[in-house]
Structure 1
Amino acid sequence: MRMDSPDKRILTVFLVTAFLGAGALGAAQALTPLSPDLLTLNQFGPAVGVGSVALLWPARVRVLLAGAVSGRGAGAGRGGLLLAAAPLIVVSAAAVCAALGGEAAAALPYSPFALLVVAQFAGACGEEIGWRCLMQPLLGERFGTLAAAVMVGLVWGAWHVQVFAGHPAYAAAFVVMAVALSVVMAVALDGMGAPRLLFAGGFHALVNLGMAVAMNEEAGEVLPMSALAVAATFAAFLWIAGRRETRTGRGARTSGAVAAGDAR
């Protein structure tokens, strides 16, 4: 299934401006007193991308972002499960890492911690307004939820260009983790009527905070990142299985209702 030409242009402009915007913001951060331990400005690169395409295709972007912030309706329960999944992924990864001889992070990455929580949530939303609220539905319309989630995850992983300066196994594990987390979020947010950005940003921020507190993957060590990749992949399979079970149940109920109607 091919994308329409307007959507190809939207995707191209979004990606170019998201990558270039992140680079420019990263360079600008060096000129500010803002600590990267608190917040990295390049997280707002995808938001720059969304702003760019919104200026050029406002009507289409409004459709893609519909309900991202002000949505109401079904899905809040799934959103709650999504938020709960974040610490479970990190804790299980930390446990595996510790069992294999890895070291857990012992110190808080920034103080006061409350300020770090707010900053990380803001930065996560700066990313997710682009990845999960614009790019995921844009690709999902053409390729389906799961295929789109894999595509977004690959781009999301590649967007973190700094990880490729380290060990190849570390970079590979990071990309696997990014794809798996992308699948988890895409399945949880699919068809959600509640505000998608808040749940996607919350999940993203909780994962980042959990890794900062409980893991030392930022040091470039392969073991903790591999443990995170495995835990995220396991979570993705659980969400996919739950999605299929829900769809099967709905199909069975629909078939039963149709049969009952025919019998009458």
Structure 2
Amino acid sequence: MPDHKQGQKQKQKQKQKPEQEHEQGQRRAQRSGWAAQTGVFLAVALVAAGLCGALQPATGIPPEVLQLTQFGPVLAVAAVALLWPGRIRDRLVGTLPARSNGPADHEARLPSGNRAALLLTAALITALSAGGALLTSGSLPVTSPRALAHPLTLLVTAQLVGACAEEIGWRCYLQPLLRTRFGPVTASVLVGTAWGLWHVPALTQGPAYAAGFLTATVAMSVILGLALERVRSNRLLLAGGFHTLVNLGMLFVTDETSPATAPMAVFGAACLVAALPWITSARRAAATPDRITAATANGTR
């Protein structure tokens, strides 16, 4: 009997060994998968943005209304979907509005107070930038909607479309992807850095200008990353709305669109200050797993 039992144990170990090796293989595939997907996304986003920018003059679309380079990230998402069709759905969980499945689905939605706080943060960035401009230059550049060459409705709509074309890549795809490997702040900083470096023309304005711009993109990415943590509904419109409000603030109230270094430095500082309350709030919040991370981290990726 002891020999028989020992033989059974050996057979069980032999059966378990392939299963363990399979699980280890899955974990290795998961570790390498996120890096490959990130690399493809970033490469396609950069190349596609350059091609779209080169095609813009032929389309006749005024750049002040809509910059076609903004469609680089959404084209990158499409490329990743073609290469990894079985994984793209999990990555884009919560991009669009979702139907409520009852009380259990409530925690997956951004509370109304947080929605308002996110949009008010965009207004705060504009206000801080305007105040900084008054302190540093003694004047506040304000653009009247009547001075624009295009209708305000068209401009706002185009800004929202362009912002959503970016945010479906940065906040709806790349942020959840990196959250499977990193914490919310680290993932947000990485996304913000990639987002800033993707704006190649802004980096050619000089080191100080580039530093202010990268500070702004990283800080805004942290705001969005923390605000959308655990959110599985309407992420695209929330991120796109914040992005649009910041862009409109830059257009109408401040002067961050100019190549001058000082306004961009002020804008970067304003974004950093606006991000501090979100970071403080995140540190005080209970450490609970991100629902999107839990949904995408299980199984082979």
TM-score, normalised with respect to structure 1: 0.89
Task: Work out which of the residue numbers 110, 114, 119 in structure 2 matches 1:75.
Answer: 110
**2-side partners of 1:50 and 1:111: how far apart?**
31
Query: 1:154 aligns to what?
Result: 193
Q: Residues 96-127 of structure 1, C-alpha deviation per residue, up to 9 Å, x if partnerless?
A: 11122154333245531111111000000000
Specify whether residues 102 and 65 from structure 1 end up closer, same or farther in structure 2 by C-alpha distance, changes over 3 A only.
farther
Specify whether residues 61 and 110 from structure 1 end up closer, same or farther in structure 2 by C-alpha distance, changes over 3 A only.
farther
Answering whether residue 71 of structure 2 is matched by residue 44 of structure 1, we say yes
Query: 2:33 aligns to what?
Result: 6
Where 1:218 maps in the other structure, the secondary structure is coil
Task: Work out which of the residue numbers 178, 183, 206 in structure 2 matches 1:167.
Answer: 206
Q: Which amino acid aligns with 1:223?
A: A
**2-side partners of 1:169 and 1:161: how far apart?**
15
Query: 1:245 aligns to what?
Result: 284
Q: Which amino acid aligns with 2:110?
A: G
Query: 1:124 aligns to what?
Result: 163
Answering whether residue 259 of structure 2 is matched by residue 220 of structure 1, we say yes
Deviation, structure 1 residue 244: 2.0
Where 1:68 maps in the other structure, the secondary structure is coil
Answering whether residue 86 of structure 2 is matched by residue 59 of structure 1, we say yes
Q: Which amino acid aligns with 2:134?
A: A
Structure 2 unpaired stretches of 5+: 1-27, 100-105, 289-301
Task: Work out which of the residue numbers 44, 54, 79 in structure 2 matches 1:27.
Answer: 54
Deviation, structure 1 residue 76: 4.0
Structure 1 unpaired stretches of 5+: 251-264
Deviation, structure 1 residue 212: 0.7
Q: Work out which of the two has the higher radius of gyration on C-alpha atoms and give 1 or 2.
A: 2
Percent identity (aligned): 42
- Is 2:93–2:232's contact at 8 Å kept on the other side of the alignment? no
Query: 2:45 aligns to what?
Result: 18
Where 1:217 maps in the other structure, the secondary structure is coil
- Is 1:103–1:216's contact at 8 Å kept on the other side of the alignment? no
**2-side partners of 1:137 and 1:46: how far apart?**
15
Query: 1:201 aligns to what?
Result: 240
Q: Which amino acid aligns with 2:122?
A: A
Answering whether residue 127 of structure 2 is matched by residue 84 of structure 1, we say no
**2-side partners of 1:60 and 1:238: how far apart?**
34
**2-side partners of 1:198 and 1:42: how far apart?**
19
Q: Residues 130-171 of structure 1, C-alpha deviation per residue, up to 9 Å, x if partnerless?
A: 000111111111011110101111110000000122121011
**1-side partners of 2:149 and 2:98: how far apart?**
33
Where 1:194 maps in the other structure, the secondary structure is coil
**Which range is displaced more, 107-116 or 168-177?**
107-116
Q: Quote the RMSD (CA, aligned, Å).
A: 1.7
Answering whether residue 215 of structure 2 is matched by residue 176 of structure 1, we say yes
- Is 1:22–1:41's contact at 8 Å kept on the other side of the alignment? yes
How many residue pairs get aligned? The number is 248
